[in-house]
Amino acid sequence: MTHNTDRNFSLFERARAVIPGGVNSPVRAFKAVGGTPRFIGRAQGAYMWDANGTRYIDYIGSWGPMILGHGHPAVLEAVQKAAVDGLSFGAPTEREVELAEAILELMPSMDMVRLVSSGTEAGMSAIRLARGATGRSKILKFEGCYHGHADALLVKAGSGLATFGNATSAGVPPEVVQHTLVLEYNNVVQLEEAFALHGRDLACLMMEPIAGNMNFVRASTEFTRRCRELCTEYGALLVYDEVMTGFRVALGGAQSVYAQQIPGFAPDITVMGKVIGGGMPLAAFGGRREVMEQLAPLGAVYQAGTLSGNPVATACGLATLHEIRKPGFYEALASSTRALVSGLEAAAADEGVPFCADSEGGMFGFFLLPELPQNYAEVMRTDGQRFNRLFHGLLERGVYLAPALYEAGFVSAAHTQDDIAATVAAAREVFKTL
Ligand SMILES: *Cc1c(COP(=O)(O)O)cnc(C)c1O
């Protein structure tokens, strides 16, 4: 297709004139992989069609929310009905109570939950709550974990354990990140040292239990156990950012997966987003009652939102939760995801391409590396040029993966065995050319 006939290209040109970089969230611009982003016209089930009418098998699923696939009839019906009854009231509704009850029933570590509109907002509020509840300022996070774009969380590791992080964005003053300590993921020795030095000043440790913003990296059982134990010992709150993993890797989130390995395991605060809104702007944070009761209007930690608990978004979330609670949902989803991952592994092995992959529930990651990485530095050893050739090779063959090597992938309940087989066949062709 020439640029003259490529509607994606002409839309990108128009977009760049009026929106910085042509996109409303940076990764959509294809900067890492090069080329023209696809402007999506519509989607149904496991497929999306771009502005030229080209169909793609979608493994992004709006970066996680679309666990049922696009256009699920029960979800659409709930959203349409809710819209007719009113788009927003700025007053409480029964549906918010229903959604809160449904979330708490599925996530036993939470006694109370507050609804917000984005994962960023939920993560930022969780930090404020942890600081308010403990009366402490410092927070700990891990390199490669993303918790939204709040100032205090846009931080990379400083020069040593005794020093705090450096901002990863312009516009974030050093004073704002001076309380954020950044450590290597899965590094128990560093974790112990950091707590010995700073433990009594830490309001919280915030982590992705399965990191999905450095592709797909599991926290080891030992690392998870020590995070929990050290937080308890030093009086810091353990904040699980399950914006991506919540209702994605299992009905009880990643914490339910770790609770099987570590009896009694639970975080103090959980941050959720993506799947709980089913594609509408909705996120949440929740935790133990005595912590949550620190929030306004009960307590002194302020937090608010004009569109929080929006009636259409909560209808979408409730309808989505209703579907994923059906018996066998996660077994089927996990088995599709495993079929994809093992198919890709086998194809790569046949073609002699170094490759490894992992998955949990409907979330997966793969690496052009001989073994699974354990932290951000290891993830970044991937040959970026090679990843980009794989990405574009698949895109040309109608398979839409995340346009960056540090992003996880998502399978939905709408992906069929035929979709998976077609994806693996396309990957096999591309592997031959890598
Ligand atoms: C997507 C994501 C966020 C941010 O959520 P937004 O809704 O994009 O603000 C936070 N944490 C994790 C783990 C995420 O994957």
Any idea what the CATH number is for the domain that residue 224 is in?
Answer: 3.40.640.10
The amino acid present at 305, given as its one-letter code, is G
Q: How far is the CA of 429 from the centre of ligand 1 (A)?
A: 33
Determine the 3-state secondary structure of 285 from DSSP.
strand
pLDDT digits (tens, 9 = 90+) for 65-102: 999 999 999 999 999 999 999 999 999 999 999 999 99
Report the DSSP beta bridge partners of residue 56.
Answer: 48
CA–CA gap between residue 322 and residue 75 (Å, rounded): 9
Task: Tell which one of 115, 118, 120, 142 to mutate to probe ligand 1, the residue whose CB is within 8 A of the most ligand atoms.
Answer: 120
Angle at 216 between CA 214 and CA 221, to 5 degrees: 110
Cβ–Cβ < 8 Å for 276, 282: yes
Same domain, 89 and 221: yes
Residue 232 backbone dihedrals phi, psi, to 5 degrees: -60, -45
CB-CB neighbours of 354 under 10 Å: 15
Task: Tell which one of 243, 307, 407 to mutate to probe ligand 1, the residue whose CB is within 8 A of the most ligand atoms.
Answer: 243
The amino acid present at 76, given as its one-letter code, is L
Mean pLDDT across the chain, nearest whole number? 97
Same domain, 153 and 139: yes
CA–CA gap between residue 418 and residue 399 (Å, rounded): 13
Q: How far is the CA of 350 from the centre of ligand 1 (A)?
A: 36
The amino acid present at 210, given as its one-letter code, is I
Q: Indicate whether this model's pTM tops 0.95.
A: yes
Ligand 1 in reach of 146 Cβ (< 6 A):
yes
Helices then strands, each counted (H, E), the chain: 14, 18
Q: In the numeric block, which tokens belong to residue 424?
A: 């693996």
Q: In the numeric block, which tokens belong to residue 241?
A: 């950012």
Residue 285: give the domain boundaries. Answer: 73-324
Which of 268, 296, 324 is the endpoint of a domain? 324
pLDDT of the residue at 276? 98
CA–CA gap between residue 366 and residue 397 (Å, rounded): 19
Same domain, 102 and 67: no
pLDDT of the residue at 159? 73
pLDDT of the residue at 160? 73
Ligand 1 in reach of 117 Cβ (< 6 A):
no
Query: Which band of pLDDT confidence, cut at 50, 70 and 90, is reported for residue 184?
Result: very high
pLDDT of the residue at 54? 98
pLDDT of the residue at 285? 98
Tell me what the mean pLDDT of segment 334-354 comes to.
98
Alpha-carbon 52 to chain mean position? 29
pLDDT of the residue at 258? 98
pLDDT digits (tens, 9 = 90+) for 214-232: 999 999 999 999 999 999 9
The amino acid present at 37, given as its one-letter code, is P
At residue 278, does pLDDT exceed 90? yes
Helix or strand (DSSP H, E) at 141: strand 138-142
Question: What is the tally of structural domains in the chain?
Answer: 2
Cβ–Cβ < 8 Å for 58, 48: yes
Nearest CA to ligand 1 atom 15: 244
Q: In what order do the strands lie in the sheet with 269-272?
A: 112-116, 283-287, 269-272, 237-242, 202-207, 138-142, 180-183
Tell me what the mean pLDDT of segment 35-62 comes to.
98
Nearest to 50 by CA among 357, 432, 399: 399
Nearest to 369 by CA among 381, 351, 358: 381
Query: Which band of pLDDT confidence, cut at 50, 70 and 90, is reported for residue 158?
Result: confident
CA–CA gap between residue 78 and residue 68 (Å, rounded): 14
Same domain, 85 and 64: no
Same domain, 145 and 196: yes
Any idea which residues carry the catalytic annotation? 146, 241, 274
Q: How far is the CA of 68 from the centre of ligand 1 (A)?
A: 19
Residue 398: C-alpha distances to residues 346, 392, 393 (Å) = 20, 10, 9
Determine the 3-state secondary structure of 2 from DSSP.
coil
Alpha helices (H) in 68-220, listed in sequence order: 73-85, 94-106, 119-134, 174-177, 188-198
Which of 304, 324, 344 is the endpoint of a domain? 324
Same domain, 83 and 215: yes
Same domain, 108 and 62: no
Cβ–Cβ < 8 Å for 93, 87: no
Same domain, 222 and 143: yes
- Residues 6 or more apart whose CB falls under 8 angstroms from that of 16 comprise 22
Same domain, 401 and 264: no
Which of 270, 289, 324 is the endpoint of a domain? 324
CATH of the domain at 353: 3.90.1150.10
Same domain, 80 and 218: yes
Same domain, 394 and 304: no
Same domain, 123 and 103: yes
Q: How far is the CA of 120 from the centre of ligand 1 (A)?
A: 6
The amino acid present at 309, given as its one-letter code, is G
